[in-house]
């Protein structure tokens, strides 16, 4: 069974890896034998991650909204690892404001990072995967691709995550026959920079509606990530895998 979920010797690219879930995703892959290129804007955070996994992490400073940055990261990954086997599109942002007050620039910025930046990474990494005839892309979506955000007004974010799941299906339909699988991972509420305030004691009531009555623990995404990235999910494509403690079932 361990071989089925193995990523040993694989070369991965993880975007938005300087903190939160992205950092965890990179560490999970590196800790299980993959060589991981981590792409983010904060060089100091990436260096910290490299120091924890000096032989398995290659830090690349860049922004997913910049075509040249992404292209350079893909080139470095290929030179360093010799192939590109896994892409985890984690880079993302949000803007919290009532929809009637959210201006077009703020809305567009969220979509530029969460959708256009993600597509840019899929396209540039996907070309290499298609040439080799194999690869697994894991796009990080959200439960907000399925349900409204509710108490947190973030129209741009919700729209972007719906787009991520739709784009995942479209890319899967186009590329799966040529060996490249494309799936999405949709977490519920897990600790990160974007959700830190929700995990303060005064906001405990926020999780009472969940069947599990709590937010997620970071390690609870390790298994789902490895499942989608590895051959364990070899007959799965175009799927959005929800890991949310039951948030979307009630």
Q: Which helix (H) or strand (E) is 60 found in, with range? A: strand 57-61
The number of domains in the chain is 1
pLDDT digits (tens, 9 = 90+) for 177-235: 999 999 999 999 887 776 666 767 766 777 888 899 988 999 999 999 999 999 999 99
Instruction: Specify if 3 maps to a domain.
Output: no
- The CATH number that applies at residue 182 is 3.40.50.720
Return the structure tokens found at 196. 């830190």
Its sign, for the CA torsion 162, 163, 164, 170, is: positive
Instruction: Specify if 208 maps to a domain.
Output: yes
Alpha carbon distance 152, 99 (integer Å): 11
Return the structure tokens found at 42. 């904060």
Active site residue 206: no
Instruction: Specify if 5 maps to a domain.
Output: no
Residue in 53, 78, 157, 235 annotated catalytic: 157
By C-alpha distance, which of 207, 191, 216 is closest to 250?
A: 207
Return the structure tokens found at 75. 């080139």
Q: Report CA-CA distances (Å) from 158 to 24, 115, 144, 196.
A: 23, 11, 5, 18
Which range marks the domain in which residue 32 is found? 11-243
pLDDT digits (tens, 9 = 90+) for 135-192: 999 999 999 999 998 778 999 999 999 999 999 999 999 999 999 999 999 999 887 7
């Amino acid at each position: 069974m361990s071989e089925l979920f193995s990523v040993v010797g694989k070369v991965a690219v993880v975007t938005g890896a300087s903190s939160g879930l992205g950092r965890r995703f990179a560490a999970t892959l590196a800790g299980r034998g993959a060589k991981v290129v981590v792409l983010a804007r904060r060089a100091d955070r990436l260096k910290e991650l490299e120091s924890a996994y000096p032989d398995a992490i290659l830090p690349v400073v860049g922004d997913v909204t910049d075509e040249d940055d992404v292209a350079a990261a893909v080139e470095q990954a290929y030179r360093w690892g010799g192939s590109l086997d896994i892409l985890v599109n984690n880079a993302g942002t949000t803007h919290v404001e009532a929809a009637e007050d959210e201006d077009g620039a703020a809305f567009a910025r969220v979509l530029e990072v969460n959708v256009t930046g993600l597509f840019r990474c899929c396209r540039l990494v996907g070309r290499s995967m298609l040439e080799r005839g194999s690869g697994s892309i894991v796009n990080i979506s959200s439960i907000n691709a399925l349900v409204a955000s509710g108490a947190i007004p973030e129209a741009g974010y919700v729209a972007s995550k719906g787009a991520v799941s739709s784009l995942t299906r479209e890319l899967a339909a186009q590329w799966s026959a040529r060996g490249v699988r494309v799936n999405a991972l949709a977490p519920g509420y897990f600790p990160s920079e974007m959700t830190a305030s929700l995990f303060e004691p005064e906001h405990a009531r926020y999780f009472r509606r969940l069947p599990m009555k709590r937010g997620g623990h970071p390690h609870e995404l390790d298994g789902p990530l490895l499942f989608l990235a590895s051959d364990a999910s070899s007959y799965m494509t175009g799927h959005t895998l929800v890991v949310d403690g039951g948030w979307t079932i009630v």
